[in-house]
Amino acid sequence: MLAKHKSILFFGSAFLAFVLCIYITHNNITKTKPEKACVYLQKKFLQKENLLQNYVDSINKQGIDNISDLLLFCQKHKIHENEFIFYIYQDSVLKAWSSNQINLPNILTQKPISQNTFSLERDYVYHIKAEDDSLCIMGFYMIKKWKNDDRSFLSLHNFTPNSSSQQIDVSVDEGKYNIFNNKGSIAFSIIFPDDIVVPDNIAFIELIAWIFAFSLFVLGIFWLMMSIPLFVENKNLIWIVLCFIIAIITNFLNIPASLYHSNLFSSLYYASFYSSLGILFIQSYAILIIALLLNQCFTTQLKNIKNSRFNYFLACLLIIIAFIFYILVFIIQHSIANDSTITITPILLYNYNGLSIIIIASICSLYCALLFVFRKLLEESYKLLGSLRSFIFILSIIVLFFIIITTLFYFYNYAVRPNYYIYLIIFLLFVIFIALHIIYPKHFSSVLTHTLAFALFSFTVFFITENANNKKVERHKDDFAQNLLLTEDPLMLFDLCEMEDNIRKDNKVYYYLRNDSISKDSIINYIHNQYLIKYIDSYRKNISLSILSTP
């Protein structure tokens, strides 16, 4: 297929992907504004009420009056026990029920229920009743469950009312945002929080959709440039233009508002080198795309430049850039391990969740980008030097210089440095693996190089995360010990005893006590500022003054 045809194909696919993204974003934004969210929930509730009514009518029509038939009915219609619940009574005697998710009080079956929506302990349910002679079928729809459940009404439509970041409440009385039933009566009202948060999984799906759409768009531009002779003759222009476009997309285009209404783009899970987990994922993916572009299009074989000194300078510069990029990836990885609340250590694999997958995908993107960029820059350096001896000599000199600089910096800024030499050995092994692949490509194949490199990366991630987790545990232990000491600090008790003697010897205190015109508050303020000010950050103080006798 011609490059021009490929560009048309990718641009067309990108257009369809953007249309889908706009629809998803618009749908999510409507759920972050109370007025629009109420309209959305109203529509969904009427659908659920009609479905509940149909279920109740079917049970009544079929004359179901035992548990076996009721459970078969639920199984046939794929009714989830956490969403719809049915109770069947005959002459006020319970004959069948479909779920134990709600505990229906006997008083509700003995007298008519005044409202369709009512609270059972901390659960809110909506009910419909159908009666035929002595048979009474009561159908319930779970509006809100105090334990987070994806099947309840407020959780079913992208709301997470039991998360720590928000609390969507239900009221059976009329409020500002009311939900009406099919009869036009108020079924219940919703109390929205100040900030409605989109669940992480919904936000991540939207984020992936936008990334996929922009990836197709970038591929369309890539193949369009590949069809133009100017770019084919000078491929460096391709990666320069595309890197500029990617930088604009990731740094200057506004992220959809619906994504900012999610914890992925808050500091809840991660905030350090990047401001949030979502930004980390976007930037790491962008870095990977740029690395792939460099791997395909970057070249130093320029026709107009034949100066050997310039080639030496450029080769040294490329090696230094590769080393700086290695440091950058290491810093980001270290920040993820230290400043993230998400489980990523392999030992706790059973605790992994969707957020763990996101952060691991970000780490893998960064290390893949590091491998591609590092190998490409060293390969181009080798081509520029044109000599194996020159390449080994310059690479060794720069590695030695790099080790000296980083060692001095590390030892100057960090008093405790038990892991520095391990990190240094990992770096040296990585450089050796890449250099061997460049020098002996037949004996040291790409597959072997990538395997060894990713083994090093895996060990690095494991080592950094384990050390970070151990430090967190130690900090928690120290904080716990400090909290215990706050309840009874022996040093503070000693200071208070010594303070008592100092106060007794303080002539100003005697003067204040003898002078009736000086208020008690003035004396208390003096004692506070003179003796207790050093405890202001650690203890709660309550000073009272009572005069038992006068001297």
Digitized pLDDT (tens) for each residue of the chain, 551 residues in all = 688 889 999 999 999 999 999 999 988 888 788 888 888 889 999 999 999 999 999 998 888 889 999 999 999 999 988 889 999 988 878 888 888 877 776 545 554 455 788 777 778 889 888 888 778 888 999 888 766 666 778 775 556 554 444 567 788 888 888 999 988 888 889 888 777 778 788 888 999 999 999 999 999 999 999 999 888 888 899 999 999 999 999 888 888 878 877 888 888 888 778 888 899 999 999 999 999 999 999 988 765 556 678 888 999 999 999 999 999 999 898 888 877 877 676 665 556 777 888 888 999 999 999 999 999 999 999 998 888 999 999 999 999 999 999 888 888 877 666 678 888 999 999 999 999 999 998 888 889 999 999 999 988 888 888 777 777 777 767 766 666 655 555 556 666 677 777 777 777 777 777 776 666 667 777 777 777 766 655 555 555 555 555 44
3-state DSSP assignment of residue 164 = coil
**Containing H/E element for 463?**
helix 446-487
Is there a domain that residue 296 lies in?
no
Q: Quote the longest CA-to-CA distance of the chain.
A: 106
Q: Say yes or no: 61 and 116 in one domain.
A: yes
Which of these three, 171, 191, 211, is where a domain ends? 191
pLDDT of residue 439: 92
Is there a domain that residue 313 lies in?
yes
197 touches 263 (CB < 8 A): yes
Q: What is the span of the domain harbouring residue 457?
A: 308-480
Q: Say yes or no: 526 and 468 in one domain.
A: no
Q: Say yes or no: 47 and 185 in one domain.
A: yes
Which of these three, 443, 462, 480, is where a domain ends? 480
Q: Report d(CA 156, CA 148) in Å as an integer.
A: 11
pLDDT of residue 165: 45
- Between the CA of residue 321 and those of 158, 408, 544, what are the distances in Å? 45, 20, 66
Is there a domain that residue 278 lies in?
no
Q: Say yes or no: 495 and 444 in one domain.
A: no
Q: How many domains does the chain have?
A: 3
Which of these three, 133, 157, 191, is where a domain ends? 191
Q: Say yes or no: 329 and 456 in one domain.
A: yes
Q: Say yes or no: 53 and 88 in one domain.
A: yes
* Dihedral (CA of 104, 105, 111, 113) sign: negative
Is there a domain that residue 178 lies in?
yes
Q: Say yes or no: 171 and 315 in one domain.
A: no
Name the one residue in this structure whose structure tokens are 């092994």: 429
Q: Say yes or no: 81 and 120 in one domain.
A: yes
Q: Say yes or no: 421 and 510 in one domain.
A: no
pLDDT of residue 159: 61
Q: Report d(CA 517, CA 272) in Å as an integer.
A: 57
Q: Report d(CA 361, CA 378) in Å as an integer.
A: 26
Is there a domain that residue 543 lies in?
no
Is there a domain that residue 8 lies in?
no
Q: How many CB atoms lie within 10 A of CB 90?
A: 13
Q: Say yes or no: 312 and 441 in one domain.
A: yes
Q: Say yes or no: 319 and 399 in one domain.
A: yes
- For residue 141, what are the β-bridge partners? 84, 126
Is there a domain that residue 14 lies in?
no
- Between the CA of residue 231 and those of 27, 221, 371, 518, what are the distances in Å? 40, 11, 26, 88
CA 11 to chain centre: 31
pLDDT of residue 18: 95
Q: Say yes or no: 430 and 476 in one domain.
A: yes
Is there a domain that residue 100 lies in?
yes
